[in-house]
Structure formats: C-alpha cells, structure tokens
C-alpha cells in the first residue's frame, strides 16, 4: 500500500497542510519548520496501539494567540490516503486482507478501470461531556463519509495496521538501544534465531564445560565458591550445588542477547565492537540493520503483503559528505516507502526534484511547497474537447466522469483561447485563466534536467536558503557579497543565496522553482538584449507587471562592470588595470571612457572582480559609496528573508 | 487439524450424489435438490470443507439465502462443524448482502453509508401520499386511486425498472402512466432526502452499482471467489440480474441449489425457467439430488404423480426417490365434508385430540390462502391450543418493545422527529402520562437540537420516577456510555411494570421480548460486544424479522408460501378444491398456463412438508358455492375420475 497523501490539521504547528508523498519523499526546511511534527503525526496516528488510547498529548493540539487552551481548539484531524498508482498494483491477497476498507474508485486515465484506495481519518478533540480528549479513528469512503460500523472495529484497525507498519529512526540513533536485546530490529533477529533443540542441548553442555574450565583454572574462584556456600547456613536453599559462578551465560538466549556486531576499521587489524566506532558509523549500522529487517523479517512480523513506511530523521548526521551521498543511494534501495527529513544538500543531490517538499513557517503555521507535475481544473465536456486533448499528445488528460482536465506542461496562448472558447458560457469559464496561470509553474523535463544539472547537483544549498538573489554572472556574486558585508547586511549570514543564472540555465526556470517552492527572490539584470526575454519569462510564470517591476532590478548599463565604472569606481578599476589603462584611447573625461575601462576589466571578469574587492578592502572602502540601486537590492533581499 | 477429519467423516456419511456435490470445488454447479433431499446439509458441508481446506488463505465465501432463518440455520450448522472458523464466511439474505454492499460502496450511486431501511409499507405509503398530494396541489397530476400506487412502484422496482424508463408496457393509460412516473420519481427523491432505502431499492441500487461501476462487482469477486445461493429458484429477475452483474459470467465458482418444482414466487418475478436459464447462461454442470429423506413413500409417490403434469421443468429431471425407512405411523388421508365450516371444525378437533395425546409431534395447518386458515386458527385459539399464524413482522408491535426500539433509534439519530414522536406516544401509553413531543422539539431546538436530551429533561420533571432508569437513560443513552446496559435496565423496569396486570398486551410483550433476546444474542455471537456499536446494532435489527420462532408444541397455521423450507410430522392441507388450489385467478389463465403450473408446484410443496401423516381435506361448498374437488387430487391419484 502506497501512502499517497497526508492531510494534517491542528497538529502542533501544522494548522492545515496537505502533503503528497512519493516512494521517497524528502522534507526540507529550516529548524522548527514542522518537518518533525509531520513525521510524528504519521507515526503516532498509524501506531499499532491505535484505536483505544490517544497517542496525543495536550501540547500536540494547535494553539495560537487567540486559542491558548488545547481544550478549546478545533482538535487534531489527520487524514491518510493510500492509493494504487495504476490498476492491479495491489495483490488479491492484500485486497482480501483489507476487505471493504479497500475502496475501488474510477481510474483517471481510464474510468473503465479502477484503482484502490484506503482512506483513514484520525481525529482528536476535547469533549466537554466526557471531560477528556477522545480519539476517533475512522475508515472513509471516497466521498469522505465514514464506512459502516461493521468496518470500524478494532479488528479492522489491527488488520489494516498490519499492512502499513511505520518505523521511525530519529536523528540521534542510539546504538546501545538499537542493538540491544530488546530492540525492535536487532532484538527481532535474535528472537528469530532458530536452533534445533538437540543442538541447543549440545551447545549448552559445551558452555557448561567451558564455564568449568575457566573456573577450575583459578583456585581463588574455588575459594570464593566455598565461602559463598556458607549462605546456606543462614537461609534455606535448594538441594545440591547451591552456589555457582558463571563466567559465561550458559543459556543460549542469555548468550545471544549479548551478541554484538564487530567491525574492522580500514587499515587496522583490530576488530572493535560497533559501540566503539564513531557516531557516523553507528548511525549507518542502524540503517543497514533496518534494511536487513525489512528484507528478512518484515513479512513474518507483519502481514505477508505489508509495505513499511520509514520515517527517517536527518540520516546525514555525523557523516562525511561522500558518505552522505552514498547513504542517499542506499536509503533509496530499502524496499519500503520513505519519508526523510534532511538538512544536507548532499543527501538529495541525486533525488528527483519532484520528491522534495519544502516546509516553511508562515507566522505560527507551517506551509508546505513542492513542484507539481500537473495542474487541473474542471471544464465542460465539449465535443471539441476530446479532439483538442487528442491533438496535444499527452500534454492534457480529461476525465469524463469527474470532468477534470489536467495539464502536464505550461499552456500556451492558443490553448488558453481554445479552452476559453469551449467554456465560454459555462460556470467554469473563470477558472480557465487561473488554470493557464497555474500551468505556467510546471517545469518541463528539460527545465528539470537543467535545474538538476546546474542547481541541485552542485548547489544543493540553495534549497535551504531563505531567499534567492538571481544575478547574471560571477562578478555580481563576488561584489554583491562584499557590499552586503560592508553594510552589515551579509547575504550569506542572512540566508540569501546568490545564483548566477547565466552559467546555470535560464532565469525562468529559477523563477518558476522559486514561485513553486515559495522562495523570496530578487533578480538583477543588465540592460542588454536578453532583458526582454528574461522579463517575459517571469511574467509568464504568473507575475504581474507591477510585481515584476518590484522583483527585477535593472542596471542602466549593458553589464555590471560598465555599471560600476559609471557609478564612481573608475579609480579602483584604473588601479587594478595598472599599465593596461594606456590601451584606452578616448579622453579620461569623455563619456565613453568608463565604457572602455569596463571593457578592459571584462577581459578577466572573475579575476578582476576579486582584485576589485581586495582593493576596496585594503583602501578603507566607504560604504556610502555603494550605489543606491545595489544597496536597495541588498536591503530588500535581507529584509524579506528575515521577515519569514 | 481435527476439523478437517471431522468434515471428511461427515462427508463419508452422505450418499454418493450428495458426496459429489459436497466435494465440488471449482466451476459453476447447479444442484437440483428435491424436497427433503438434505440440501442444506450438502451446502453447509461444502462451505465448511472449503473453509477448513483453505485455512491459510484469506478469501471469503459468500452464501446467499432468501430468509434470515435459513442463513441463521446454516450459520449454526457450520459453527458446529468448524467452531470459530466462520469469520471468512458471509451468510445472509440477498437484501442484507445488498445493504452491506451499499453501505460500503453506495457513494458511487448517491447512497450514503448510514442510510435507514424503511421496511414498513405504512411508512412508504405515507411518503407516497405526501408526494401525491404535493403533486396534486402543484397541478402536475390528476387525482387517482392513491392506494394502488405503492404496489405499482414496488412491482416496477422489483423488476429493476427505473422511474426514467419507458413504462408504456406496464401501464397502458397515458394519464395514469404519467402520474405514476412523476410520483415514482418524487418518491425516489424523497427517500433520498430522508437518506432511506426501501427493500426493493437495496436490490435495485446494488444492481445499478454493479452495472455502472463494474469494478465494484469485481471487488466482490476478488473478496468472494466462491458464491453459493440457496433456493435459487426463488430469485426474481432483479435478483438474477444482480447475480449476473456481480459475477459477470467470469465467475466460475457459483454453486447454486435449486428446485424448479418448488417455484411458488412467480407472482413476485420468480420463474420456473430461471434454473434452466442459469444452466445455459453459466454453462453449469448439474448434480441431481432426487432422494427424499423426509416424507413417507406414499407422499413421495403422490408428489411424483402430480408434478409430471407440469411441462415446464428442467430437462431430464429425475423423479423423487423415497429413502425414508417405512414406519407404522405413516398415513395419507383424504377427508370430505359438506362445507368449509364443518371441514375447519373437524381439523381443529382432530388437532385438539392429537394435542391431548401429547405425542411431541409437530403440527401444521396449510392452505393456499390466509382466508382458509383463519377459522381454524380462531378455533384452536379458542380451545387454548398454542397456535400461531406464520408471517413476517418488520416492526415490534407491543408498546414496550416499540418504545425500547424507538428510543434506541432516537439515541442514534438525535434530531429525528418521527422517532421522537414514537418514543413519546409509546411512553405516554406505558406510563399514562401526557408528554408533548412538540414542546420537547421546541425546547431542544432552542438548546442543542438533541431531542433525546429533550426527552430526558421532560421526564426528569417527576414523570418518570424510577431513579435507576432515569440514571441509565442519562448516562448510558444520552451520553452514550453503554446502550446495552440501558437495554438491560429498561427491560428490568418494564418487567416490574408488567407484574401489575396480566392482559393480552403483556403476552405480546413477553413473546416479543423473547424475540429481542434471541436477536440480541444472535448478534452478540457474531460480534464482540465492544465492537457492536448502536448504529450497527440498529442496522442489523432493521433487517431481521421480529416474528417469534414458535416452539415445537405450537401448531402453525401457514400459507403454502410460509410453509416453504419447513417440515412437520403432521400436515393438514385444507381447502383442496378448484378455485382455492388451484386458485380462481390461475384457472382464468387456462389449464395449461404457467400460472396453473405454479399452482401445481404449490400443491407439490405443501404435501412434501409432511414427515409422517398427510391429511388433505375438501368440502362440497365454500361460502355457499359448490366447488369441484381439486384437479390435483386426481392428478396425484388420490381420487379417481369416476369417484
């Protein structure tokens, strides 16, 4: 069973979020943004204990400045939707196990066929009459109405929970606990060790004789035993040998419970127990142990058709970047559904952008943002619609029974007009333009590949930033970083990442990404040939003229160097250029002079940018000289990043 | 696996053909089972065997019957065979299965999971009248005989004819047709608004669901790879279409038990050719169980003689084989009287004589229609012989039980005006108090809209003085702590009340209380008490007949239809004349009509209820009219043409 969607209301900081889940879903966001609350909601609600006792405590109920007492809140509501991706994915055995909890609904792609769903609602609210928080777990039909009581029994719940065990591995994985005799995974292995009875006797006999060997080889132990036997004189004990000293446990279970994993480090020849290795190695070991558990024991501990959900918190903790990357691959291979929180760009370097969910605090409540593969709207079943959808070859999909139209790529003007034409006189007409706008946020495959190559792989940290400053090249990067420090508004320390889009694909892809994932952003553009294109890409993403004007700062010159040369940094540039200044043929006071200087500077943009900053640092740069446009840009970026 | 062995041993005890049927695994099978052929035994053994043999599997078996009694009986037998292993079995009537389907998947056809079942014609008639007067006021229809409308709607629904379909072949008069169409449509809408379904809707909506959303039917085929249907010959077109849409011809493990010689529900849409239709549609194998273990050989002979006169029978149908060992007590009698009162007196007297001998024999009086039974019933009752008339009862009739039932319904649906009205009126009768439902509603609406709480507040003001009951009403019911405890307290209170006087009403109370106890313990044997919520309890109760199961010493007065599936040591089949059996209506259709064949099957069913003595009676005059002896007496060979 694949958990497709979780909707949470009023649980801690999660006032109202809906999060679709993939086979692997990665939750990112700053500390305290609600990622752990999300994992907790999933594991608490889908716990084995289930129906009778509430897994929540009173701090779990969402409160704010208006309602501070958990008893007065609307109560926690969590809904889970399990769903097949395509028909016949779930086995007959699974469907029979689930019985009526499994609800077939028409499949979008072909309404003749059905996909199975299971909907579960968990609610908890204070009830005056009972003077207590009550817990209500219900299975729902596709309309969201509770199934009949016969299918709401404890038996239904425990059968269901057998199919979807949730395992939680926290950021700090305690090796002693994880590998203790009573631990969930390791303990299960130990308990499942099956030694034939005659062999048990044999082993126990040899343990006994080993014990005696140790014992008889030290006289002092014999003496100790004799002394201890005097106990008999004080209290009555059983007949025969009453006192024995066991150097080794003589029962198999005792022995097994002391089993430990021993690793040999690279380059050494001494084996150490796992506890003696570094924290990173220990964490890794727990993960591998979990994988082994899933592979070997899950189906016998739960249902044969069980599909586990792993809630994994910060798997990267204490690991080397290379190891983190390797770990990410390893985790993907664990045969279960994974929900992972991470703060490591290395961890999601190789994942699909579509798997990322960005958690952000907005005031006291969390919002979750993610990229959408498609957008949908309702339209009338027009006779031309079928032909329209047909002719667009996979870009659109129409579901006749729900009259829902899906778009898998941004619509163009023609398509907008065609759809508006077909819905001219319908109630849906007004939704079409919104549908068009929403569709503009869809990243197509090429854009995703670009972003993967230029951003995700090499600059993963930008997904952890509070805001983005999009600039054309590296010069801006170097100079603006410095300027921001000079005015005490360091972009770095304020969580603003500078992205030089020229080298990293198109500005449009970044703007779409920023809009979808709700990053605040500013863009600094030259007045060059590309400006028009950049502006139109931004507007297409759904920004108004006014918004675009606010978000995009335009340098009044053809590039950043020329801009600086004209904004009073001509002396610095001359100093950097040294003798090369002589190559300028126009007079120093002429209007063309700065342009010519800038052209020389541009012959080694990056090198000169570094020299420029170096020069300013060494010459007591006066921050008042920073051009107003750039100062404003920095202030806005930092201001907005901190406003969140 | 001790059960596996036990099942095996039980199967070994069967006859060869029974064995063959009980060992049937896969593929469609038609078991043609004559009366008294041990079909229930075969059916239950097969189900138990399949369950035991697949104890590691998780598929389920669906068993459909026509009465709750049949389902209960099969469940009991299977539980005896394989205790605790019947969790993977759904046994129930067509209607209860359909209710289950709709509660779980009805949302596709606009049915909510918590719908109520309206089983009383009284309630349905009320809806029809309401709709009728509304349409009349609106000037949309002309006046018509409104009492005929509900039966017509029910007729249409039982044949799966939707309001939007063309009704011209059913109602010829255009004006009537249009009016009925409109009433039918509004009637359906009204039921929908009330979140209610009538009995016919259960089948009709399930059929619609399976047909429009084949994946729901597929879901049931996945969960239930084995389907068994008992008394298949009784399926009407609607039920048969439902089975077909459920199985879609792809389901190979359909096991049906039927006897086309026992089709007596033709008027309700059953058909003698259904069995043949099934055989063709599903390309089913056939196993015949002609052996009769119930009746004296002479009765078997009469039955065989009689049924040969029917032409529309399964091909190659074997005659019944008498297998019951001969006993001295076996008798077949025919008695002739001058008129029906004399005939009835004689039957009543002879039953009284038998009763006095206290032989522990079960006795039934069977007739083609209710009218014939009534005088005998009255007579026996007057003479203080325990006697009942068999009939289905959808609601409790005593004030006490009705009160308990309705207050529980109100507890489940706190703002239902109808429930409150019934609670208040029954309570007023019980306590001779004057409560006003309207006041309670007004008060409740001003507060939280909870009529039950309103009722509690009203009776707390000195009207109900029993502190124990008041407390239980408040905590167990209004606050929903434990409705079972409330039921217990309630009956305690009612019992106390009863001791004061021993009137007729109280006898009904004790009878119905016994029914309640039976129903409750039957439900508690199927579910954990903790799991059995009030909603579920009421839903189950809705589908069960509230008729008391008579004990062995009670004489049962039954129509042939009500006698079906039962057996008695002594059977009195009365009114064996033309115009009664066969009925006047069937004679009008002609001597070779399918209606006449159905009458013959009625006679066939009636005589094969007898285990020891079959007594048939007839008279010269009925209501002053001279009647000829029934043709069936001649056909059976008990009368000769020249007699």
Per the document, the length of chain A is 644
Q: Is residue A419 helix, strand or coil?
A: helix
Q: What is the DSSP string of B395-461?
A: S--SHHHHHHHHHHHHHHSTT-HHHHHHHHHHHHHHHT----HHHHHHHHHHTT--HHHHHHHHHHT
pLDDT at site A268: 58
The answer to the question of whether B348 is labelled as a binding residue is no
The model's confidence at residue A161, banded by pLDDT at 50, 70 and 90, is very high
Which segment of A108-117, B89-98, B190-199, B390-399 scores lowest on mean pLDDT? Answer: B390-399
Q: Specify the range with the lowest mean pLDDT, choosing from A477-486, B236-245, B463-472, B529-538.
A: B529-538
pLDDT of residue A507: 86
Reduce the DSSP state of residue A478 to 3 states and report it: helix
Q: What is the mean pLDDT of chain A?
A: 86
Is the pLDDT at A222 greater than 80, yes or no? Answer: no
List, for residues A426-456, the tens digit of each pLDDT value.
888 888 989 998 898 888 888 888 888 877 7
Q: Which two tokens stand for residue A2?
A: 């694949």
For residue B103, which residues of chain A lie inside 8 Å, CB to CB?
147-148, 150
Q: Of the ranges A182-191, A239-248, B100-109, which one carries the lowest mean pLDDT score?
A: A239-248
Residue A283: is its pLDDT beyond 80? no
The tally of CA atoms less than 13 A away on the side-chain side of residue A146 is: 15
Contact state of A102 with B219 under an 8 Å Cβ cutoff: yes
Mean pLDDT is lowest, of A104-118, A498-512, B100-114, for A498-512
Is B105 in contact with A141 (Cβ distance < 8 A)? Answer: yes
Q: State the count of interchain CB pairs (< 8 A) between A and B.
A: 79
Say if residue B38 carries a ligand binding annotation: yes
Position A39 scores a pLDDT of 95
The residues spanned by each domain of chain B are 2-100+204-289, 116-194, 299-390+552-636, 399-543
What secondary structure, in 3-state letters, does B20-52 show? HHHCCCCCCEEEEECCCCCHHHHHHHHHHHHHH
The gap from C-alpha B559 to its chain's centroid, in whole angstroms, comes to: 14
B104, B213, B223: residue with CB nearest A148: B104
CATH fold match for the domains B116-194 and B299-390+552-636:
no
The pLDDT of residue A285 is above 60: yes
Q: Cα(B104)–Cα(B120) distance, rounded to whole angstroms?
A: 24
B223 to A96: CB separation less than 8 angstroms, yes or no: yes
Report d(CA A74, CA B271) in Å as an integer. Answer: 58
Identify the pLDDT of residue A521: 94
B128 neighbors B187 (Cβ within 8 angstroms): yes
Average pLDDT over residues A575-594: 92
Predicted pLDDT of residue A615: 95
Q: Locate A129 and state its tokens.
A: 């009459």
Q: If contacts are CB pairs under 8 Å, which of residues 470-509 in chain B contact chain A?
A: 479
pLDDT level of residue B169 (50, 70, 90 thresholds): confident
pLDDT at B621 over 90: yes
Strands B625-626 and B610-622: antiparallel
Provide the pLDDT confidence category of residue A175 given band limits of 50, 70 and 90. Answer: low
Cβ neighbours of B215 in A, within 8 Å: 104, 106, 113-114
Can you give the pLDDT at residue A171?
67
Q: Are A397 and A408 in contact (CB under 8 A)?
A: yes
Kindly indicate the confidence band of residue A471, based on its pLDDT and cuts at 50, 70 and 90: very high
Q: What are the tokens at A315?
A: 């798997």
pLDDT at B506 over 80: no
Q: Encoding tokens for residue B70?
A: 């049949």
Q: Which fold has domain B2-100+204-289?
A: Rossmann fold (3.40.50)
Residue B14 has pLDDT above 90, yes or no: yes
Q: Where are the domains of chain A?
A: 3-174+299-367, 180-227+244-259, 375-439, 446-644
The H or E element that residue B388 is part of is: strand B387-389
Instruction: Give yes or no for a contact between B192 and B113, defined as CB atoms under 8 angstroms apart.
Output: no
Considering only the top CATH level, what class is A3-174+299-367?
alpha beta
Query: How far, in Å, CA of A542 to CA of A439, rounded?
Result: 9
Looking at per-residue confidence, does A289 or B263 come out higher?
B263
Is residue A190 over pLDDT 90?
no
The mean per-residue pLDDT over the stretch A170-197 comes to: 72
Eight-class DSSP state of A624: G
Residue that is written with structure tokens 């082994």 in the block: A292
Model confidence at A393: pLDDT above 70: yes
pLDDT digits (tens, 9 = 90+) for B143-168: 888 888 999 999 899 888 888 888 88
**Fold of domain B116-194:** Arc Repressor Mutant, subunit A (1.10.10)
Q: Which of A194-208, A539-553, B480-494, B611-625 has the highest mean predicted lDDT (pLDDT)?
A: B611-625
For A194, the token pair is 């099956």
Are residues A31 and A41 in contact, defined by beta-carbon separation less than 8 angstroms? no
Confidence class of residue A5 from pLDDT cuts 50, 70 and 90? very high
Q: What is the CA radius of gyration of chain B?
A: 26
Are B103 and A148 inside 8 Å of each other by CB?
yes
Q: Phi, psi (5° rounding) for residue B120?
A: -90, 125
The C-alpha torsion from A212 through A215 and A221 to A222, rounded to 10°, is 40
- A519-528: average pLDDT: 92
Torsions phi, psi of A28, nearest 5? -125, 165
A287 half-sphere exposure, CB direction, 13 A CA radius: 30
> Which range is least confidently modeled, A78-82, A299-303, A534-538?
A299-303
Q: Of residues A238 and B511, which shows the higher confidence score?
A: B511
* Helices and strands, counts by H and E, chain A: 26, 21
Mean pLDDT of chain B: 89
Can you tell me the mean pLDDT for A140-151?
Answer: 91
Cα gap B1→B36, rounded to integer Å: 32
Residue A280 near residue A323 (C-beta atoms within 8 A): yes
Span A328-379, pLDDT tens digits: 888 888 889 999 999 998 888 878 888 999 999 887 789 999 999 899 998 8
Which residues of B are less than 8 Å from A144 in CB distance?
none
For an interface test with A, give the residue of B58, B92, B116 to mutate (most A CBs within 10 A).
B58
Task: Say whether residue B625 is in contact with chain A using an 8 A CB cutoff.
Answer: no
* Mutate: best of A88, A128, A148, A400, partner B, most B CBs <10 A: A148
The strand pair at A110-127 and B291-292 is best described as: unpaired
Whether residues B531 and A154 touch (CB distance < 8 A) is answered with yes
Tokens of A66: 């208006």
Q: Which residues of A touch B223 (CB under 8 A)?
A: 95-96, 99-100
| B297 marked as binding residue | no
Q: Is B322 buried (19+), middle (13-18) or exposed (0-12) by CB count in 10 A? A: buried
* Nearest chain A Cα distance for residue B473, angstroms: 15
- Is residue B582 reached through a cis peptide bond, with omega within 30 degrees of 0 on the bond before it? yes
Q: Is B267 at the interface with chain A, CB within 8 A?
A: no
Q: Which of A92, A98, A104, A117 to mutate to test the interface with B (most CBs of B within 10 A)?
A: A104
Q: Which of A112, A130, A145 sits opposite B113 (nearest CB)?
A: A145
- Specify whether the CB–CB gap between B185 and B140 falls below 8 A: no
Mark B112-149 as b/e (b = at least 16 C-beta within 10 Å): bbbbbbbbeeebbbebbeebbeebbeeeebeebebeeb
B109, A106 in Cβ contact below 8 A? Answer: no
Residue B121, classed as helix, strand or coil, is helix
Judge: B104–A102 Cβ closer than 8 Å, yes or no: no
What is the fold, at CATH topology level, of the domain defined by B299-390+552-636?
Rossmann fold (3.40.50)
């Amino acid at each position: 069973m694949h958990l497709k969607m979780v909707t949470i209301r009023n649980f801690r900081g999660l006032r109202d979020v809906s999060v679709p889940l993939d086979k692997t879903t990665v939750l990112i966001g700053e500390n305290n943004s609600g990622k752990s609350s999300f994992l907790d909601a999933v594991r608490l609600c889908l716990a084995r204990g289930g129906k009778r006792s509430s897994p929540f405590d009173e701090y779990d109920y969402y409160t704010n400045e208006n309602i501070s007492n958990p008893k007065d809140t609307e109560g926690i509501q969590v809904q889970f939707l399990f769903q097949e991706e395509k028909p016949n994915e779930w086995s007959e055995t699974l469907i029979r196990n689930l019985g009526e909890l499994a609800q077939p609904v028409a499949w979008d792609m072909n309404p003749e066929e059905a996909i199975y769903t299971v909907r579960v609602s968990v609610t908890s609210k204070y009830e005056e009459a009972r003077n207590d928080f009550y817990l209500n777990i219900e299975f729902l039909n596709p309309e969201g109405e509770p199934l009949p009581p016969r299918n709401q029994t404890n038996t239904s719940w425990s059968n269901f929970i057998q199919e979807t065990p949730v395992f939680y591995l926290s950021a700090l994985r305690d090796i002693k606990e994880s590998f203790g005799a009573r631990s969930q995974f390791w303990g299960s292995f130990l308990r499942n060790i099956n030694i034939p009875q005659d062999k048990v006797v044999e082993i126990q006999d040899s343990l006994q004789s080993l014990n005696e060997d140790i014992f008889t080889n030290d006289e002092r132990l014999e003496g100790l035993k004799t002394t201890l036997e005097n106990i008999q004189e004080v209290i009555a004990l059983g007949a025969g040998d009453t006192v024995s000293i066991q150097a080794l446990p003589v029962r198999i279970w005792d022995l097994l419970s002391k089993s430990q994993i021993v690793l040999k480090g690279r380059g050494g020849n001494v084996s150490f127990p796992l506890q003696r290795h570094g924290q990173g190695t220990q964490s890794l070991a727990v993960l591998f142990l979990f994988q082994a558990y899933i592979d070997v024991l899950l189906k016998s501990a739960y249902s044969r058709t069980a599909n586990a959900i792993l809630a994994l918190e910060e798997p990267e903790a204490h690991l080397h970047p290379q190891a983190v990357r390797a770990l990410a691959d390893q985790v993907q291979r664990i045969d279960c559904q994974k929900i992972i929180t991470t703060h490591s760009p290395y961890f999601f370097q190789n994942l699909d952008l579509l798997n990322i969910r960005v958690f952000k605090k907005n005031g006291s409540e969390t919002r979750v943002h993610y990229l959408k593969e498609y957008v949908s709207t309702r339209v009338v079943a027009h006779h031309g619609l079928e032909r329209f959808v047909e002719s667009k070859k996979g870009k659109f999909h129409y579901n006749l029974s729900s009259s829902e139209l899906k778009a898998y790529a941004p619509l163009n003007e023609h398509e907008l007009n065609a759809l508006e034409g077909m819905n001219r006189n319908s109630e849906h007409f007004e939704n079409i333009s919104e549908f068009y706008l929403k569709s503009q946020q869809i990243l197509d495959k090429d854009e995703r590949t670009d972003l993967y190559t230029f951003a995700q792989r090499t600059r993963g940290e930008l997904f952890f930033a509070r805001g983005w400053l999009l600039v054309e090249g590296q010069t801006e990067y170097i100079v603006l970083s410095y300027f921001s420090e000079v005015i005490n508004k360091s972009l770095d320390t304020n969580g603003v990442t500078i992205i030089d889009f020229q080298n990293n694909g198109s500005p449009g892809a970044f703007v779409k990404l920023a809009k979808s994932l709700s990053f605040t952003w500013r863009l600094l553009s030259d007045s060059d040939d590309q400006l028009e294109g950049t502006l139109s890409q931004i507007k297409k993403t759904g920004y108004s003229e006014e918004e675009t004007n606010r978000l995009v700062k335009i340098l009044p010159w053809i590039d950043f160097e020329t801009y600086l040369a004209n904004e009073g940094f001509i002396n610095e540039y001359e100093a950097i250029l040294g003798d090369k200044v002589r190559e300028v043929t126009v007079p120093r006071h002429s209007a063309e002079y700065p342009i010519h200087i800038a052209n020389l500077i541009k012959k080694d943009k990056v090198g000169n940018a570094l020299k420029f900053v170096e020069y300013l640092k060494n010459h007591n740069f006066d921050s008042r000289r920073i051009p107003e446009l750039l100062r404003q840009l920095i202030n806005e970026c930092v201001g907005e990043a901190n406003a969140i | 696996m001790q059960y596996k062995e036990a099942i095996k041993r039980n199967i070994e005890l069967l006859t060869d053909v029974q064995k063959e049927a009980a060992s049937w695994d896969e593929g469609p099978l038609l078991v043609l089972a004559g009366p008294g052929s041990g079909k229930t035994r075969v059916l239950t053994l097969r189900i138990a065997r399949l369950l035991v043999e697949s104890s590691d599997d998780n598929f389920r078996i669906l068993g459909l019957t026509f009465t709750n009694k049949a389902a209960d009986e099969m469940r009991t037998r299977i539980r005896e065979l394989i205790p605790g292993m019947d969790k993977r079995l759904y046994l129930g009537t067509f209607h209860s299965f359909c209710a289950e389907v709709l509660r779980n998947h009805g949302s596709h056809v606009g049915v909510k999971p918590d719908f109520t079942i309206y089983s009383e014609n009284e309630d349905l008639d009320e809806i029809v009248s309401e709709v009728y007067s509304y349409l009349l006021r609106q000037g949309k229809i002309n006046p018509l005989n409104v009492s005929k409308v509900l039966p017509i709607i029910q007729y249409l629904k039982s044949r799966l004819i939707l309001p939007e379909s063309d009704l011209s072949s059913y109602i010829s008069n255009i004006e009537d047709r249009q009016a009925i169409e409109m009433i039918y449509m509004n009637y359906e809408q009204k039921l929908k608004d009330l979140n209610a379904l009538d009995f016919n809707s259960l089948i009709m909506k399930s059929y619609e669901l399976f047909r429009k959303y084949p994946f729901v039917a597929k879901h049931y085929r996945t969960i239930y790879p084995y389907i068994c249907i008992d008394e298949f010959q009784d399926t009407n077109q609607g039920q048969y279409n439902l089975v077909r849409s459920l199985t879609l011809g792809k389901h190979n493990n359909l096991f049906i038990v039927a006897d086309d010689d026992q089709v007596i529900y033709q008027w309700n849409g059953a058909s003698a050719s259904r069995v043949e239709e099934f055989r063709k549609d599903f390309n089913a194998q056939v196993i015949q169980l002609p052996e009769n273990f119930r009746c004296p050989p002479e009765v078997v002979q009469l039955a065989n003689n009689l049924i040969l006169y029917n032409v529309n029978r399964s091909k190659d149908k074997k005659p019944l084989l008498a297998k019951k060992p001969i006993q001295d007590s076996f008798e077949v009698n025919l008695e002739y009287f001058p008129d029906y009162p004399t005939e009835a007196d004689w039957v009543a007297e002879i039953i009284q004589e038998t009763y006095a001998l206290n032989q522990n024999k079960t006795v039934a009086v069977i007739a083609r229609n209710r009218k014939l039974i009534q005088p005998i019933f009255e007579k026996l009752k007057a003479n203080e012989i325990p006697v009942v008339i068999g009939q289905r009862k959808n609601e409790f009739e005593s004030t006490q039980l009705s009160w308990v039932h309705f207050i529980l319904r109100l507890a489940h649906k706190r703002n239902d005006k109808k429930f409150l009205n019934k609670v208040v009126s029954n309570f007023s009768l019980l306590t001779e108090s004057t409560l006003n439902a309207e006041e309670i509603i007004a008060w409740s609406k001003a507060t939280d809209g909870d009529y039950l709480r309103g009722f509690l507040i009203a009776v707390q003001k000195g009207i109900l003085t029993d502190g124990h009951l008041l407390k239980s009403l408040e905590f167990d019911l209004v606050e929903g702590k434990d409705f079972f405890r409330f039921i217990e307290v309630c009956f305690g209170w009612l019992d106390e009340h009863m001791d004061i006087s021993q009137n007729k009403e109280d006898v009904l109370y004790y009878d119905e209380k016994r029914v309640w106890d039976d129903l409750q313990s039957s439900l508690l044997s199927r579910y954990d008490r903790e799991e059995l919520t009030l909603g579920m309890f009421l839903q189950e109760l809705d589908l069960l007949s509230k008729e008391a199961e008579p004990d062995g010493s009670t004489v049962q007065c039954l129509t042939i239809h009500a006698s079906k599936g039962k057996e008695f040591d002594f059977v009195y089949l009365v009114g064996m004349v033309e115009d009664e059996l066969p009925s006047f209506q069937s004679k009008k259709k002609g001597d070779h009509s399918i209606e006449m064949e159905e009458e013959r099957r009625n006679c066939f069913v009636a005589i094969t209820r007898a285990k020891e003595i079959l007594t048939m009676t007839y008279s010269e005059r009925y209501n002053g009219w001279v009647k000829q002896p029934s043709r069936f007496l001649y056909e059976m060979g008990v009368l000769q043409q020249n007699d």
